[in-house]
A and B are shown apart, each in its own frame.
Chain A
Amino acid sequence: DSGVTQTPKHLITATGQRVTLRCSPRSGDLSVYWYQQSLDQGLQFLIQYYNGEERAKGNILERFSAQQFPDLHSELNLSSLELGDSALYFCASSVGQVTGELFFGEGSRLTVL
């Protein structure tokens, strides 16, 4: 158990809808990262937050947004969903701002029909 909690584990929705994925980092970790995992693209970095502030941005679509709250949990919002957004979304956390060891949750599997 990595100590990172992600909810929901599975989510099925329709195109055009909006969903929110939630992540609670390990106790004491200030950085939260979101990654998208698909079969053809592997693990794609989306965004990093450190202590409530956006720290780095990767290949995150404009339809996606995220935030980290004062209690350090994070949410990833996916809107105007398309079939291609179906993937496994991972949250990871680390102690500091500079990425060392990442601790991953078990992921949220999103299926868009």
Chain B
Amino acid sequence: QQQVKQSPQSLIVQKGGISIINCAYENTAFDYFPWYQQFPGKGPALLIAIRPDVSEKKEGRFTISFNKSAKQFSLHIMDSQPGDSATYFCAARASRDSGYALNFGKGTSLLVTP
């Protein structure tokens, strides 16, 4: 079963707008929450990550907001640019018993229009 649920499946945002992608999880043993960005024909690459003891992390135009009690986290892309058009995956790291593997959401295809 999908341990990390991601929405929306696709998103269209105008240049300069804010892109918001949401993820939810159930396993409270998850201890690390990264976001990966994937361009067509390429493998995913780490964009930004957060640990559950922090509620927000910002790197440039990218911000992760984390709500531990709600078991939700989201990616905000400020001032979205056409170059941000890609597929975004949220993920959560499993516990020691599960070998610390990353569980990925199904991905969000973002299109930023000029």
Contact = CB atoms under 8 A, between A and B. Distances in A.
Given A2-B45, A4-B43, A42-B107, A56 B89 contact: no
Q: For the side of the interface on A, what is the size category?
A: 20 to 34
B104 A48 contact: no
A100 B89 CA distance: 15
A33 B44 contact: no
Given A99-B102, A102-B46, A43 B41 contact: no
Given A55-B99, A99-B93, A106 B107 contact: no
B100 A101 contact: no
Given A45-B103, A97-B100, A104 B43 contact: yes
Interface of A: 2, 4, 33, 35, 40-45, 48, 55-58, 90, 92, 97-107
Interface of B: 2, 6, 32, 34, 36, 41-46, 49, 89, 93-94, 98-107
16 contacts: A2-B43, A35-B104, A42-B89, A42-B105, A44-B104, A45-B104, A48-B101, A57-B99, A92-B43, A99-B93, A99-B100, A101-B46, A102-B46, A103-B45, A104-B43, A106-B42
